[in-house]
Chain A
Amino acid sequence: MALPKRIIKETERLMAEPVPGISAVPHEDNLRYFDVKIHGPSQSPYEGGVFKLELFLPDDYPMTPPKIRFLTKIYHPNIDKLGRICLDVLKSNWSPALQIRTILLSIQALLGAPNPDDPLANDVAQDWKTDEKAAIQTARDWTSKYAAPE
């Protein structure tokens, strides 16, 4: 099946005007599959880390959202052990007017503002609520352990 114009244009724009701190590169043999890297936002426990994600555009994209998950281990109340992300715009609040760029920006923002009240990783969210300081330290430790830049 030919690649829709929309995916071609989005890819071109991602290459031509990359978002600071974010890169998304399609696989050569599958242009719907992207290797993503997100730099942890400054002043967050993820600062200094580079997080790898995989992003896949399903057949009915943009009617359905991109499928995306973290490959790098991360300690975050809205990201579970399998790297799945709890983000409304990736589920019920998806709209075809959103795009890869806006989704990656939302994920970057989620790293900067963890939301333990809407958790996916329940135990992490619990830690976050009972002892935020310790949880932030764990997130920092994990960042230097698993997300060190290559």
Chain B
Amino acid sequence: MNLLESVGFSLIDSEELSYDELLASSRFMSGDEARVTSQDIVGLDAHEDARTLVRLIQCSKCSLPFRIPITLPCGHSHCRDCLPQPHHRENISYPNTPDRRHGVVCPVQTCQREHPVGECDVDVTLSKIMEAITDVTAEYQPASEDTPMLLEEIKHYPRADSVLPEKEEDSMETPEPRSQVLNGGRLAATLRFAQMGFLDFEAEVGYQTLSKEGDDYRPLGERILTQFRESVSKELDCQVCYNLMYDPVTTPCGHTFCRKCLVRVLDHSSHCPICRRTLPIPPSLDRQPSNQRLKSLLVGLCPDLVAARAEAVEQEERGTIGELDVPLFVCTLGFPSMPTFLHIFEPRYRLMIRRALEGNRTFGMLMYNRAGQPQGDLGNTHFLQYGTMLRILNVQMLPDGRSLIECIGTTRFKVLRWSQLDGYIVGSVERIEDVSLAEEERIEAEETSVAAPALNAPPTPDNISIDPSVLVNRLSTRRLLIHGVEFIEKMRANSAPWLHQRILDAYGQPPDDPALFPYWFACVLPIADEEKYLLLSTTSVRERLKIVVNWIRRIEGQRWYAGSSCTVL
């Protein structure tokens, strides 16, 4: 019997297949797309797809079934021991927490980015799945006796542009394909074959039964797969919605939720629901990859449930997109975490505030477009397109119907569409958020790595006049912050009128969080609102701090603070 003829369904038919495709082949999922439509989904068969099933839990580096799996921020998983040694990361000053000072270079060729060690925690779900699989295998040990089958590893010769470069180093001489007689039907035997270290991640398997009757033990394999499916799917329940995970995203702390569930959680808090660690990722999970292994396992093992979930999610989304559901108040400039005090007297805004109080107590604050600048896709509007959501903290109703309200800024947004409702504006908005901490660090390293060390010294009027914008760009994020903090201290020492106690009473002391410092700084600094407005569209802490330092640079250049008048620049 020709071994090749009995090879199960192969995923590496095409020469073009990449690592991701090996796992998420078009057989059951189309590429990287997060959205799965029901016709894409075909479950895997215990007999025909035994090799593919085992590959789903095999480490691409050591080829063994995962031992203490870690899912990296790029969505790829490896054994903890298979990650390279951490190295010290250069040119990063913010946030500079101990867990982010070291990094590993991603072994996946399509990634190769530097992942901070603090974002490479053990994947709790994948670990539990590995335990569940071990338990099921042990349970079926007795039933698997005397079901011999010969397995032979079928190697593919490395292609010129191999997608797994880590394999190239140690494959100077191609080792002989390995073979072994194993029990338990194709699925259990293939898993055992991989556990013995006889099955390369990329290799296929040839099967030949040694049963005298020619039995291929198909029903046994099916029973084992059913058991796998049952135990594994228990671990694949999302702890937020109690459904089977849909489009699973794993946090840097190793906990996994449906993408949609985690986005909703992050609307309310920046902590992991399970371990409460702060999550250094954008609340919209923009560009946060899905957990590739879990995604493939879900589709491979529970295709019907995934299809049903896909449909339910689609239905949910229909009708909620693009609603003009945010009340907008065109009045002044607000910033996240900073207070805004408003005097409401016009009836239409009284109505708006009353409605907000009955609902979630929030509304969007926008500035007037005084210069008549076109606002992106909105065209020429009477307001500027970026704003801040304000939450009402206190309302003081006056007897004549006017009210004084105290609000606190929550998130920034951009208006996508707008219309009028009972005299005020309502819109559909998109949240503006900072990039992930990893991206924040990457930007800093990129901008500062070319700088000579001397340039990180505090700028003096002399060196700043050389090429100020380049200089500011090369300062470390920490240095930018210190620059802002020192400026405030200096102004206080000089008794600058705009740092009057009254101002500090309203806005408090400068916040410790560098992400918020620029907002506080803008609140107290007497410059035009149109300039402060620039902070609203920023997407990194570093970008905001650079704006702050450029303001300081200009003010100091004009020796403006020396005078006692409160000139608005």
Q: List residues of chain A with CB under 8 Å of any chain B CB.
A: 4-6, 9-10, 62-64, 95-97
Contacts and interface: CB of A to CB of B under 8 A. Distances in A.
Contacts of A62: 240
Contact of A64 (B241, B242, B268, B271): B268
Contact of B265 (A5, A6, A96): A96
A63 B265 contact: yes
B271 A6 contact: no
Given A95-B276, A96-B273, A97-B273, A10 B242 contact: yes
Specify the main secondary structure of chain B where it touches its partner.
loop
Contacts of A97: 239-240, 273-274
Contacts of A63: 264-265, 267-268
A96 B242 CA distance: 11
Contact of A5 (B243, B267, B274): B243
Contacts of A96: 239-240, 261, 265, 273
Contacts of A5: 241-243
Contacts of B276: 95
Nearest to A10: B242
Nearest to B276: A95
Interface string B267-291: 1110101101000000000000000
Given A64-B268, A96-B273, 8 more contacts: A5-B241, A5-B243, A6-B240, A6-B243, A95-B271, A96-B265, A97-B240, A97-B274
Given A95-B271, A96-B273, A6 B242 contact: yes
A3 B97 CA distance: 42
A59 B242 CA distance: 17
B275 to A, nearest CB: 9
Interface in B246-261: 261
Contacts of B243: 5-6
Interface residues of B, number: 15
A16 to B, nearest CB: 14
Contacts of B269: 95
- Report the 7 A-B pairs with minimum CB-CB distance, sorted nearest first: A97-B273, A6-B242, A95-B273, A9-B242, A96-B273, A97-B239, A96-B240
A63 B241 CA distance: 10
A19 to B, nearest CB: 18
28 contacts: A4-B241, A5-B241, A5-B243, A6-B240, A6-B241, A6-B242, A6-B243, A9-B242, A10-B242, A62-B240, A63-B264, A63-B265, A63-B267, A63-B268, A64-B268, A95-B269, A95-B271, A95-B273, A95-B274, A95-B276, A96-B239, A96-B240, A96-B261, A96-B273, A97-B239, A97-B240, A97-B273, A97-B274
Nearest to A64: B268
Nearest to B255: A97
B531 to A, nearest CB: 36
A96 B265 CA distance: 7
Contacts of B241: 4-6
B360 to A, nearest CB: 9
A133 to B, nearest CB: 38
Contacts of B264: 63
Interface string B229-248: 00000000001111100000
Contacts of A95: 269, 271, 273-274, 276
Contacts of B268: 63-64
Nearest to B267: A63
Contacts of A6: 240-243
B256 to A, nearest CB: 12
A24 B261 CA distance: 26
Contacts of B239: 96-97
Nearest to A4: B241
A20 B253 CA distance: 33
A78 B102 CA distance: 45
With a 10 A CB-CB cut-off, give which of B239, B243, B276 has the most chain A CB atoms: B239
B357 to A, nearest CB: 16
A5 B238 CA distance: 11
A93 B261 CA distance: 18
Nearest to A95: B273
Nearest to B243: A5
B314 to A, nearest CB: 15
Contacts of A9: 242
A106 B203 CA distance: 53
Nearest to A93: B276
Interface in B74-95: none
B320 to A, nearest CB: 12
A5 B271 CA distance: 23
A39 B123 CA distance: 39
With a 10 A CB-CB cut-off, give which of A6, A64, A97 has the most chain B CB atoms: A97
Interface string B375-400: 00000000000000000000000000
Nearest to B269: A95
A96 B241 CA distance: 9
Contacts of A64: 268
Nearest to B265: A96
B463 to A, nearest CB: 47
